[in-house]
Amino acid sequence: MRWTIKPKPTQESIDELSQVLGVDNLVVQLLLQRGITNYEEAKAFFRPELTNLHDPFLMKDMDKAVQRIEAAITNQENILVFGDYDVDGTTAVALMSSFLLETYANVATYIPDRYEEGYGVSFQGIDFAEDNDISLIIALDCGIKATDKVEYAKEKGIDFIICDHHRPGDKVPDAVAILDPKQEDCNYPYKELCGCGVGFKLIQALAARQGMSMEDLFPYLDLVATAIAADIVPITGENRVLCHFGLKVINSNPRTGFQAIIDQTHKSELTITDVVFMIAPRINAAGRMKHGQHAVALLTETDFATAQKYAQEIEAFNTERRSLDKEITEEAILQIRENDEEKRFTSVVYKEEWHKGVIGIVASRLTETYYRPTLVFTKSGDKLAASARSVKGFDIYNALEGCSDHLEQFGGHMYAAGLTLLEEQYEAFKNQFEKVVSETIDPKLLQPEITIDAQIDMHQITPKFMRILKQFAPFGPGNMTPVFMVEGLKDSGYARGVGEDEKHLKASVYQNGTTPIGAIGFNLGNKLDVVKRIKPFDAVFSLDENEWNGTVSLQLKLRDIR
């Protein structure tokens, strides 16, 4: 890995904030690196408050959206809550539908079939609305590019409210209201909400009009926190507040469906990382392997026995997903090797039989393996569909724009996107994508980078420091787990390989006579020789707590050593 140490703030700014906050220089350095420069910002960071959330009516079209929903309720119209099949979409549909159903019965939900309809608003969904006398569709986590679909609905007398967080195209749909902070003419102060987050702002606005308080919306925050974690949006600003309180709900009073999932994980206290790796994949598995409606059913169920049954079904989907993901990844790596494409700037692979529900995960696995922009294609109807993943610092959405002549449609973010094209365009697209990436990517981005917050000495690692560090959570983009570097470490004689094929590294390390601290390095078993040599070594790590036989001790979670 490339080791990059973040610039250290000036000593003057460190001394100044240290005096104000009464904490040591290392903590202050970490705060300044996160853009926290004064007492008020530090207070908001360490003590998030629901009062820190912005007024939802600052979002463009919020008043129009609220008025249209209120009119629908007054006129006894049927409302359809429509969302994408991933975690962000299904949690958003669960959030919006359960909130509306608290006071109004004529609400249905709709998740498009990943295979029959594909991503986003679909003609089939609009036909379903027409067949069921629905006159208002609230689209969540999708719709910002659905100009033709919204027009089609309008011809049928069906209105649209769009709650999205993806980048708009040149033209936005002719909807009653478009809630998307990424619109250039939207002055909403926080731009990084996920789809479920935008949905939450809408229920916050509706609740305000009904005289409800933020406390009344507290039970919905488990859904919002899960969507934020799963969609890899920055955990800064509003997202940090929503995550902080959402985790409290998950750990103290989760909705029935979440409790049924948590019972399968056998964990007592969940962190944001647990939500990403334990809860989110299970919710996602429904849309990947069967249908996203299964996830909505689980997340809105109030009877625990029924929720357990749904959770068991979803667990079976997740097990099947894991098996397929492993199998397809192995096939994709073989394809890259056989085609002698290991030296390219991109990975683009295709097989007609690959399961569309797992190609996004496979793209992520290939990005980890080869560390370059990656696309995994499969057959979808009469077209090819792909999931795209990028490496840190490279905008894959812009690269796809440079190949748009070969594409039927595409959408997404800087680091992840989806697209479709005609089969006869595949080879031309593959060559064009390689050309665009090779001409625009900085070659150093093709080597994984580990960003280090601070170089420290072992004596600075204390239980008190760890207690403060834990208050930096929840971690995620924009507020990553602090990473440290120490030079001149030695092993106290316990270093060994552990786990299957001894692929992990376990050690006990010290520096210049300090008390040894345990260390674990996942997938670093191949570095055992470096640790066991007489010569000292340098390490990059985050701090962790290891619980063993009821005793909690500090340990280094090694990221890399040299």
pLDDT, tens only, 25-71: 999 999 999 999 999 999 999 999 999 999 999 999 999 999 999 99
For residue 470, pLDDT over 90 is answered with yes
Q: Is omega for the bond preceding 56 within 30 degrees of 0, making it cis?
A: no
56-313: which CATH architecture? Alpha-Beta Complex (3.90)
pLDDT, mean of residues 180-186? 96
- Mean pLDDT, all residues of the chain: 94
DSSP assigned state of 143: -
What b/e sequence results for 85-104 when a residue is b if at least 16 CB atoms lie within 10 Å of its CB, and e otherwise? bbbbbbbbbbbbbbbbbeee
Find the helix or strand (DSSP H, E) in which 15 lies: helix 11-21
The gap from C-alpha 562 to its chain's centroid, in whole angstroms, comes to 31
Query: What is the tens place of the pLDDT at every residue in 312-368?
Result: 999 998 999 999 999 999 999 999 999 999 899 999 999 999 998 899 999 999 999
| pLDDT confidence of residue 533 | 82
**Cα distance between residue 400 and residue 397, in whole Å:** 5
Strand-strand pairing, 347-350 and 374-380: parallel
Q: Let me know: does 114 contact 356? Beta carbons within 8 Å.
A: yes
pLDDT, mean of residues 404-430? 92
Residues in the chain: 562
What angle do the packed helices 304-338 and 359-370 form, to 10 degrees? 50
**Cα distance between residue 279 and residue 247, in whole Å:** 12
Q: Let me know: does 172 contact 195? Beta carbons within 8 Å.
A: no
**Cα distance between residue 279 and residue 407, in whole Å:** 34
**Cα distance between residue 329 and residue 108, in whole Å:** 38
Domain boundaries, the chain: 2-6+450-561, 56-313, 327-446
In this structure, the dihedral spanned by the alpha carbons of residues 27, 235, 476 and 548, taken in order and rounded to 10 degrees, is 70
DSSP 361-402: HHHHHHHHHH-S-EEEEEEETTEEEEEEE--TT--HHHHHHT
Indicate if 327-446 has the same CATH topology as 2-6+450-561. Answer: no
349 beta partners: 376
| Percent of the chain predicted with pLDDT > 70 | 100
- Residue 527 — very low, low, confident or very high, per pLDDT cuts 50/70/90? very high
166 beta partners: none
- Residue 549 — very low, low, confident or very high, per pLDDT cuts 50/70/90? confident
Q: Let me know: does 120 contact 146? Beta carbons within 8 Å.
A: yes
| pLDDT confidence of residue 167 | 87
Tokens 């920055």, residue? 234
**Cα distance between residue 150 and residue 160, in whole Å:** 7
| Amino acid present at 438 | S
Q: What is the CATH number of domain 2-6+450-561?
A: 2.40.50.460
For residue 4, pLDDT over 90 is answered with yes
Q: Show Cβ contacts of residue 283 under 8 Å, excluding neighbours closer than 6 positions.
A: 87, 90, 91, 226, 230, 261, 295, 298, 299, 314
For residue 117, pLDDT over 90 is answered with no
In this structure, the dihedral spanned by the alpha carbons of residues 22, 25, 28 and 32, taken in order and rounded to 10 degrees, is 140
Query: What is the tens place of the pLDDT at every residue in 369-392?
Result: 999 999 999 998 899 999 999 999
327-446: which CATH architecture? Roll (3.10)
Query: What is the tens place of the pLDDT at every residue in 279-314?
Result: 999 998 888 888 899 999 999 999 999 999 999 999
Nearest residue to 508 (alpha-carbon basis) of 491, 524, 522: 491
User: What value, to the nearest 5°, has the Cα angle with vertex 401 and ends 398 and 406?
Assistant: 145
**Burial of 179 from C-beta contacts in 10 A (0-12 / 13-18 / 19+):** buried
546, two tokens: 């290891």
| Amino acid present at 130 | E
110, two tokens: 């709709």
Q: Let me know: does 124 contact 100? Beta carbons within 8 Å.
A: no
**Cα distance between residue 396 and residue 389, in whole Å:** 7
- Number of H helices and E strands in the chain, helices first, is 21, 19
